[in-house]
Amino acid sequence: SGLKALSGYRFIKNELMRRLREQQYLAGATIPGEVELAAEFGVARATVNRALRELSEDGILERKRHSGTKVATLRTRHAKLEIPLIRTEIESSGATYGYNLVAREERSAPDWLIKRLALSELQKLLYLQCLHSASGQPHILECRWINLKTVPQALSADFENNNPNEWLVNQMPFTTAEFSFSAECLSRKDAKHLNAKAGEASFIAERITWLESNSVTFAKMAFRPGYKMLTRI
């Protein structure tokens, strides 16, 4: 009943996974080449190639250009993390998304931020603090710094009514980003915003966004205590 009649590259991926599970190919060993597998399965080499390429993207095989394909040792798990817009995440859980601006100020960057955003020291940034809520319950407290050299139009944007992440995504849709995740105890002030107790643990997500080699923004999101970020391999 659970059987699927896979064909083509999916079938080959499946079959190779079976052989791996059954230790027919051992960890670290070189498996047969594309030509050999193509002959064995009676398919074109391109089909085997796709199967092998995808398995190596999943971290299960390791391919080397002119040497061969090996079973990965010390397999690191590759999880695909989807980082949705906050609005999307909240609405897809069935709640109503709410937003409001807590603070807005032009400030010069603190030392730690100068390094992380590769700023010249004199630069002014736009500092925002915003609260995202789910059906009225505070959900995320966001501290954001926007590089006015890269995004000067931020100065005149209306962040009372527009969440800075969505505004930035519209202004510059194709940036790259670095993320970090950690945990912090809430300060008394932050706890108040999140309707939590001072000292409670908050899941922290930080993001630095780049346009080519120019920093765009630094954002630190403090999630309501109890929040879990989920993923699946």
- Note the residues at the interface with a second copy (CB under 8 A): 17, 20-21, 27, 59-60, 74-85, 88, 169, 173-174, 176-185, 199-204, 223, 225-233
Report the partner that residue 169 touches, choosing among DNA, a second copy, none (CB closer than 5 to 8 A by kind). Answer: a second copy
Core vs surface per residue 4-38: b (16+ CB within 10 A) or e: eeeeebebbbeebeeebeeeebeeeeebeebeebb
Given 65, 188, 228, 232, the residue binding DNA (CB under 7 A): 65
End-to-end CA distance of the chain: 24
Which among 27-35, 100-108, 216-224, 225-233 is the span making contact with DNA, rule CB under 7 A?
27-35
95: amino acid identity, one letter: A
Site string for DNA, 110-129 (x = CB under 7 A): --------------------
| 8-to-35, 40, 177, 215 alpha-carbon distances in Å | 15, 13, 36, 44
Question: Please, which of residues 29-58 interact with DNA by CB under 7 A?
Answer: 33-36, 42-47, 49-50, 52-53, 56
What whole-number distance in Å separates Cα of residue 175 and Cα of residue 169? 9
Question: Please, which of residues 142-181 interact with DNA by CB under 7 A?
Answer: none
CB-count exposure of residue 199 (10 Å: 0-12, 13-18, 19+): exposed
Residue whose CB is less far from a second copy, 35 or 81: 81
What whole-number distance in Å separates Cα of residue 83 and Cα of residue 2? 31
Report the partner that residue 179 touches, choosing among a second copy, DNA, none (CB closer than 5 to 8 A by kind). Answer: a second copy
Q: Where on the chain is the footprint of DNA (CB under 7 A)?
A: 7-11, 33-36, 42-47, 49-50, 52-53, 56, 63-69
